[in-house]
């Protein structure tokens, strides 16, 4: 991720804990002039990206969320398991929604681990 890293978050792969990633993203987005609607979109996009790691079995002990300030906010979400997981309809819904809510959606692979990169800028930027 280019740009400055603002926060790195490691969350146990527990659906109940994904809320903490949403709260951090929400706080950073509010500080950076995103509208309420844009903040809701970002919260949901990061939730879906994190949930997809769980549903695909790609997070054994942690889900990593790295938030940077490149072109608005850039959020990289990854698990700790190599590969792409077993495709399933639930995970596909997560990723389809995440992709629709951000300006740029990219899937990268580093050291065999898939990373979902979400980028969104405030409309007024």
Partner 1 sequence: MNRLEIVITTENAVCVMRLTGELDVATAPSLRDEIANAVAKGGPILVSLEKVEFLDSRGIGALVAGTRQARESGTDVAVVIVSQSQRHSIEVLKLEAFLTIRASEAEALRALTGASE
When asked if residue 96 is in the footprint of partner 1 (CB under 8 A), the reply is: yes
Binding of residue 100 to partner 1 (CB under 8 A): yes
Rank residues 1 and 44 by Cβ distance to partner 1 and give the closer one. 44
Considering only 90, 106, 108, 125, the residue that binds partner 1 (CB under 8 A) is: 90
Nearer to partner 1, 70 or 99 (CB): 99
The answer to whether residue 18 forms part of the interface with partner 1 (CB under 8 A) is yes
Residue 65 is a binding residue for partner 1 (CB under 8 A): no
- Rule CB under 8 A: say whether 78 interacts with partner 1: no
The position carrying tokens 């509010």 is 30
Q: Of the two residues 63 and 73, which places its CB atom closer to partner 1 in the complex?
A: 63
CA atoms of 20 and 109, how far apart (whole Å) = 25
C-alpha dist (Å) from residue 9 to 21, 28, 108, 111:
7, 13, 19, 19
Residue 54 binds to partner 1 (criterion: CB under 8 A) = yes
* CA geometry: angle 14, 118, 63, nearest 5 deg: 20
User: Could you tell me which stretch among 4-12, 50-58, 60-68, 69-77 binds partner 1 (CB under 8 A)?
Assistant: 50-58
Distance between start and end Cα atoms, the chain: 20
Q: How far apart are CA 106 and CA 101, in angstroms?
A: 13
């Amino acid at each position: 991720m280019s740009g400055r890293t603002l926060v790195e978050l490691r969350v146990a792969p527990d659906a109940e804990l994904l809320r903490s990633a949403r709260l951090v993203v929400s706080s950073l987005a509010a500080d950076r002039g995103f509208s309420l609607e844009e903040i809701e979109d970002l919260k949901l996009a990061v939730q879906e990206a994190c949930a997809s790691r769980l549903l695909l079995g790609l997070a054994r002990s942690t889900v990593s969320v790295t938030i940077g300030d490149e072109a608005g906010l850039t959020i990289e979400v990854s698990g700790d398991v190599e590969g792409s997981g077993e495709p399933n309809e639930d995970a596909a819904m997560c990723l389809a929604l995440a992709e629709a809510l951000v300006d740029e959606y990219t899937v990268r692979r580093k050291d065999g681990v898939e990373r979902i990169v979400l980028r969104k800028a405030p409309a007024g930027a």
